């Protein structure tokens, strides 16, 4: 097991991502942030709070999206009980920033885009991810904002721990066969 | 996490976790049903056959909508006008339908136990949409789900089931379901319509409908099933309405405001008067609305892992 980001570095990285978002979307009036359930929401909660502080706009539309019903592996993996979707605003014609903790095969993001489009037609969809596992994509999905890029092999796993859920902030790389 | 069962034959076979899981999933589907686009593509590779050997409006429509809103393909079959009248057996009928590559069967049958019999002979998942006077599991789930929406956790809540307990599959499934969720249940109605020894199921009997109403938080009023009563069990419908029917003035005379439910179809003026059925205490149409979400949850949770080589 190897630590990729400790809590100090993780915080610096999150601050940078939030600043990048505000740099690209100065007023944040036409931009919304949507975190992907279950583990993307810890990242998006933090990012949304930081963006509110940095931009000075307290009215940013922010929600959670569950993608369970849009997965492409309903019949090949175990059935999952969904978490809550909470999007109480219109995404029609607006910029959407999708947020997830780890980008790996790209399949979750594919499902998330399908789910999103059932809520309306966004003007533009961007992707923010804390960890980008490069060279492991199964679909042509690329992130717009990356916290930390890492080259991994199939037998490795990247795990992000969050204070709110796991009592610590840390990103680790785990070798499964060891 | 999936359900502990492969089929939904009866509430009897479920455990409390199964029921809670169905409710949690239904919460999400209910949200989907309130969106501009009321469907999800989850089961677009699944075909479901609705096989109804008995009449139905609500249940069949509700199942069909649930299946379509999950993205599944649907075929409907009703016994009238089919080869059943030419003498085809149940297994032959179902196997012929399955030969056309159907993945799941929703069945209503007049014989109690028919879905269990079928489950022993076919591979596809089966959802019981009512079998004779035995069980009607999705109705009980949507009833309990609707109660939970009104009252929160059902543990310790008081539910009265009124009317034709003897012939009602809704009553039996409700009793199993509410027991598993920790609610207290009283059944009430004329002695001829309450089975002997029903206390063995963990319910109390109260022959006085007024007293049952005074005791309860929710009254689930059931239909008098004349089609299943082969000998007269009460004198006249008028007498039944007079002594065992629920009406608005009765509800108004109670100390607290109770929730009134009915699984439908209603015999207006018999087991419940129109002013009670249409009052603001009645959640009859909420039950119907929740039915689609509950059935979506059941079908989704049963359509888990599939053997690709099957």
pLDDT tens profile B31-47: 999 988 899 999 999 99
Give the model's confidence band at B309: pLDDT under 50 very low, under 70 low, under 90 confident, else very high: very low
Q: Is the pLDDT of residue B254 over 80?
A: yes
Rounded distance, CA B197 to CA B178, Å?
18
B37 in contact with A, Cβ within 8 Å: yes
Residue B302: per-residue pLDDT? 93
Residue A58: per-residue pLDDT? 87
Q: Is B5 exposed, middle or buried (0-12, 13-18, 19+ CB in 10 A)?
A: middle
The shortest CB-CB distance from A75 to any of B21, B40, B306 is to B306
Chain B positions in Cβ-Cβ contact with residue A69 (cut-off 8 Å): 28, 32, 40-42, 70, 300
Rounded distance, CA B235 to CA B288, Å?
32
CA distance B224 to chain A (A): 38
Model pTM?
0.90
pLDDT in tens, B171-185: 999 999 999 999 999
Rounded distance, CA A170 to CA A159, Å?
8
Determine whether domain A2-72+83-175 maps to CATH 3.40.50.300.
no
Q: Radius of gyration of chain A from Cα atoms?
A: 16
Q: Is A62 exposed, middle or buried (0-12, 13-18, 19+ CB in 10 A)?
A: buried
User: Out of A43-52, A67-76, B179-188, which region has the weakest mean confidence (pLDDT)?
Assistant: A67-76
Q: What domains appear along chain B, each with residue ranges and CATH number? A: 11-135+290-302 (3.40.50.1370), 137-288 (3.40.50.1370)
pLDDT in tens, A71-119: 888 877 788 888 889 999 999 999 999 999 999 999 999 999 999 999 9
Chain A positions in Cβ-Cβ contact with residue B308 (cut-off 8 Å): 75-76
Q: Report yes or no: A135 and A93 within 8 Å, Cβ to Cβ.
A: no
Q: Is the pLDDT of residue B306 over 60?
A: no
Residues linked to residue B161 through DSSP beta bridges, in sequence order: B187, B220
Those of residues 29-68 in A touching chain B at CB distance below 8 A are 66, 68
B28/A80 CB distance under 8 A: no
pLDDT in tens, B118-161: 999 888 999 999 999 999 999 999 999 999 999 999 999 999 99
Sheet of B184-188: strand order equals: B204-205, B184-188, B158-162, B218-221, B259-261
Q: Where are the domains of chain A?
A: 2-72+83-175
Residue B78: per-residue pLDDT? 85
CA distance A114 to chain B (A): 9
B111 in contact with A, Cβ within 8 Å: no
Chain B positions in Cβ-Cβ contact with residue A85 (cut-off 8 Å): 28, 31
The shortest CB-CB distance from A118 to any of B37, B303, B308 is to B37
């Amino acid at each position: 097991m190897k630590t990729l980001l400790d809590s100090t570095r993780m915080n610096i990285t999150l601050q940078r991502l939030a600043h990048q978002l505000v740099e690209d979307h100065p007023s944040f009036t036409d931009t919304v942030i949507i975190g992907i359930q279950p583990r993307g929401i810890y990242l998006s909660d933090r990012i949304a709070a930081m963006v509110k502080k940095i931009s000075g706009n307290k009215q940013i539309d922010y929600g959670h999206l569950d993608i369970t019903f849009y997965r492409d592996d309903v019949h090949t993996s175990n059935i999952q009980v969904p978490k809550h979707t909470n999007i109480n605003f219109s995404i029609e014609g607006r910029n959407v920033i999708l947020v997830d903790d780890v980008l790996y095969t790209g399949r979750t993001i594919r499902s998330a885009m399908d789910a999103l489009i059932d809520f309306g037609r966004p003007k533009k969809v961007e992707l923010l991810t804390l960890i980008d596992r490069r060279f492991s994509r199964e679909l042509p999905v690329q992130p717009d904002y990356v916290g930390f890029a890492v080259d991994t092999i199939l037998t490795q796993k990247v795990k992000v721990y969050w204070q709110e859920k796991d009592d610590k902030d840390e990103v680790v790389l785990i070798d499964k066969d060891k | 996490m999936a359900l502990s069962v492969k089929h939904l034959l009866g509430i009897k076979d479920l455990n409390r976790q199964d029921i809670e899981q169905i409710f949690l999933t239904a919460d999400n589907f209910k949200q989907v049903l309130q969106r501009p686009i009321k469907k999800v593509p989850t089961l677009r590779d699944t075909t479901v056959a609705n096989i109804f050997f008995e009449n139905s409006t609500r249940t069949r429509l509700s199942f069909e909508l649930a299946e379509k809103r999950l993205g599944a393909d649907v075929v409907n079959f009703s016994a009238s006008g089919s080869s059943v009248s030419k003498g085809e057996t149940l297994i032959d009928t179902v196997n012929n339908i399955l030969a056309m590559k159907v993945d799941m069967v929703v069945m209503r049958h007049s014989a109690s136990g028919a879905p269990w019999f079928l489950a022993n002979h076919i591979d596809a998942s089966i959802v019981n949409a009512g079998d004779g006077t035995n069980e009607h599991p999705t109705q009980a789930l949507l009833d309990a789900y609707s109660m939970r929406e009104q009252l929160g956790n059902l543990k310790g809540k008081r539910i009265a089931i009124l009317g034709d307990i003897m012939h009602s599959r809704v009553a039996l499934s409700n009793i199993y379901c509410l027991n598993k969720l920790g609610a207290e249940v009283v059944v009430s109605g004329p002695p001829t319509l309450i089975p002997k020894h029903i206390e063995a199921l963990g319910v109390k009997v109260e022959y006085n409908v007024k007293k049952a109403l005074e005791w309860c938080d929710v009254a689930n009023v059931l239909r008098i099933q004349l089609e299943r009563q082969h000998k007269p069990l009460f004198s006249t419908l008028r007498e039944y309405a007079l002594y065992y029917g629920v009406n608005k003035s009765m509800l108004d005379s109670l100390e607290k405001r109770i929730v009134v439910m009915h699984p439908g179809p209603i015999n207006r003026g018999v087991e419940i008067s129109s002013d009670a059925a249409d009052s603001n205490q009645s959640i009859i149409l909420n039950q119907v609305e929740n039915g689609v979400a509950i059935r979506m949850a059941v079908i989704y949770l049963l359509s888990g892992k599939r053997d690709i080589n099957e």
